[in-house]
Amino acid sequence: MNTLDQQYSALAAQVSQEQGAPAWQDLARLGGLRQQLEAAQAALDKCVQANSAALTGIVDVIDATGAAASGTQTVTLWDVSGVSAVLAEQAPVTGGAFGLKGPVPVKAALTLQMTGAAGFGLNGYDFRSGPLPDPLPAPPLRCEMVICPQVAVPPAAVQAWASSFQAVNQQLGSPSSQTSVAVALSSVTVALAADTITVTATGTLTGSVGGIIPLNQTPFSADVPFSLTPSGSPQAGDVVDFAIVGPGPVIRILGPGPGALLNSLISVFQPFIRNQLQNALGPWVEQVVPEFVATALALPKLPPSATVTLRNLKVDQSGITLQPVLGTIGAGLSTFKPAPLPAP
């Protein structure tokens, strides 16, 4: 149904600029498309009535790539009233439409995911609504998507983040091991590899370990490997999910001292290092991804109603490659009037 809708809109716009024989010929085609749309809507209404759906929707997919992977979409209804989202129901998208039997949670959200896309690795989602409007608009609920071209975040952009890292100082301690240390985290570097972003932090330690080993600006380094995957949260806030790869940060204390006591020091400030780096890298990724998507579309910024969902994300030495999908509830994308960036 969404394909017929797009064809009708495109042909109607074309007819409005024509006259004479071409206009009448295309009006005849337009009448045929209208009949098909009416039949499709009637079939949808009948399906909805037969299944007593509590929530019905249509999915309008705008392919801005010309060659987006196609497959079967599944819609998931989520209950987002609690701390964590809870899956409430799933249903297939058939002919650009879906029906959910309900009941619909008081605070609900939707996601759409593609499966069965031959020859294309999809590890993300097509659509994440965030909390649905309350009250819900008159059915069917319109879910619009724009499948965007692939976007590359080059290594230079990641290195620029590393160069802008702000130094951090914090006092850490462990009464049980008689350890009190001031950690100065001064700089970071970044290395990209298959499925991994490794952030290496350097700094110094000042204080004492075990009450017997003095530390006076003792240097250290820490390698923290992160993985990035497309966010599947229906809340639509975060674009990516972060995770620590393997057992966690590898920390090397470069000063002298008994190995066992220095190892006890590592356990004290390992969580601090991990959290500081994730808290610095995470917001940067959430900010830079929409900026790169907007630039790839020659826009100064994305439409305010649009959420960004990632169909696919890959990290390797060439950078971070992703395929974004813009989404909105309503007609905010199909009615969007762009103001493109000027030529460089």
- Give the mean pLDDT per block of 10 residues along the chain (344 residues): 79 87 87 86 66 84 79 91 93 90 93 67 85 90 94 95 92 75 92 94 84 80 91 88 84 68 70 87 90 94 92 94 94 92 86
Are 308 and 151 contacting, i.e. CB atoms less than 8 angstroms apart?
Answer: no
The alpha carbons of the chain give a radius of gyration, in whole angstroms, of: 26
List C-alpha distances in Å: 71 to 76, 207, 324, 344: 16, 59, 17, 37
Q: What is the pLDDT of residue 234?
A: 92
pTM above 0.75, yes or no: yes
In this prediction, residue 67 carries a pLDDT of 67
Read off the tokens for 59: 């999915």
Taking alpha carbons only, the member of 150, 146, 149, 122 closest to residue 61 is 146
How far is Cα 55 from Cα 77, in angstroms, rounded to an integer?
10
Q: What is the pLDDT of residue 119?
A: 42
* Cα–Cα distance for residue pair 159/284, rounded to 1 Å: 12
Q: What is the pLDDT of residue 117?
A: 47
Tell me, what's the pLDDT at 3?
A: 76
- The pLDDT assigned to 71 comes to 76
CA distance 149 to 226: 25
3-state secondary structure of 269: helix
